[in-house]
Chains A and B, each alone.
Chain A
């Protein structure tokens, strides 16, 4: 479970302070996928970085299974698996070697890491190429390796920041299948995206981030019901109109 309450975050750039989040609150629950939506620059990445302990909130707090992301950041990091769309795995190491490295970063014992690698590789179907250099892999294979890296330490919470933004259709399917699987296993999943159709298909709960707060937050069905068409993009346009972003 991820509980975000009253989150504030500003960045100082060139002597100017820019308020990105101003009072963001939501809860993501186990066995469900929470979709954080919003246009580019809305603050999705910032929010997920705050949850992942990469940034510290100016105000407000985040609890992961009851642990505070600031005061207990190390324990929190043990519970979360992060994947971002910007991540491009590369290099001469094989998937197995990379996974072992991330296992070490998570202070896992070697035998346990190898056990996890076998399990994940079987589950994602990586056995054929797990010892091949990453540079020689196809995009789908790389994507599976990235996913494997993010869950090597068996996290309870899975945080994916626009994971499909740079992917082709095959690699996108790999990610979406994985997310549905994780949900079925009872993980808490938070997914950010600006692709509304993807959110509509995958998510159980949805938050739309606009002007630093959640303009909409709740169960997908309830949110879609607010529009006659029952479509997420109409929800979005209605919101944008309300705020004078589009006419």
Chain B
């Protein structure tokens, strides 16, 4: 639509590739493959990240299903079947060689390895890169009106580094797997696993993935500073960008600390330098401090992108200015800042009392900016023209689930309460409500909203909503019972349990199957959309940020056929869009007068 009024940019105006969709394949298959493998186009890199991350999500999900399957009954299931030697499971036969698995200890070990694998994959390979590397890569330049990120080659490098890191993680699983939990606590991680390599591989994987994360964050920060379109001040940016900016800051500032910690952990394993070994004068709790100094801020690397998507979903599908733009923007920065001083709340049982009391008090502060966001979104809903499409359902799902996750975080942050809840299923439920109920839910919502823009095809609305309800109900069925059993004392990370907990565990396992069904519905819906979905218009939802108003669906290789100039804010629905004539309609902004964008 934009091309009607625009002139071409001088120097490359005659480039005949200019108007082609970035998805246009090359003449031969090999040329296309090489083109993608060497591309520096942020959109292609974003999509390559998307595909790899979704693949990892599948792997992590399979591990989760295995964990839930084991817990279907107090002791039987996979574990005892292995112990009997009566049944060979797929898992045992193919992925993990538990030679003989002759006793319960061996099969418990297997259980430990699978939940560790699940945690490591989901944290380091899925949630941390998920939104920034895929949607962020694709949409930050588009929303800023830029042709690319600041350092395109570095961007491609970060994807390859991600692949190398993932390779080490998978290699570690293939040579036997680790059972340390995703937290690598010492001295366990340094004293078990005689052959060394599995744990070392896994730590190296996390270390390498850290580089990828740093490079992405660094790239985005510079992009936001230097590549905003003319007319776009800091407070004219879509809130998605603010969220990404906060995320990137944490990635750049926190990751080096885990880098050095993991490096020392590798030294400890390979050379026994003793720094975490009390026998040699080291301090294992020091590892916990360093780990959480990174890993608490990193939980905000995980949630901020989800919040970033939320602001866009709510604004676009309520057709309203986000209530309290600046409050939402600054709360991202506040979260980024406070996140660095609360790590001790993971160590209430491992550190001194005074430290614990201080960390407990600081932890409550974190809830404030999170609540600011939630209240602002709810205020935006008020009197908005809400269209209940799949993305909007996901936005509402986020509000519901994240609120539960955040509030239960306060229970855990309360020192006296946490002494009871620590290391129980309550914690497991808490962090799944924030990470999956928050980030993954927002991610899937964002995928639906931007799907037409990325691929130029609409998804099927009916199946989208079926998928949502399966995911939403399945999620609650899986994780709500875990709060209850946690309060009743079910510890985390055990393969068996006493009979009283059976009903909760069974509900939880059934929920996991429902989740699987939901994600499969989405997957097939997306595949069907690619194969036979109706063509998407440039602006199917009547959005006002530049990726909707100024780019094609899918965008051309150079993103825009002109250099975009920002003439209105991303949420000025009241000013630039005609009112709806009937509910559920998405009126488009009036086109600019001819020549307004010429240069």
Bound pair (A, B): no
B interface residue numbers (CB < 8 A to A)? none
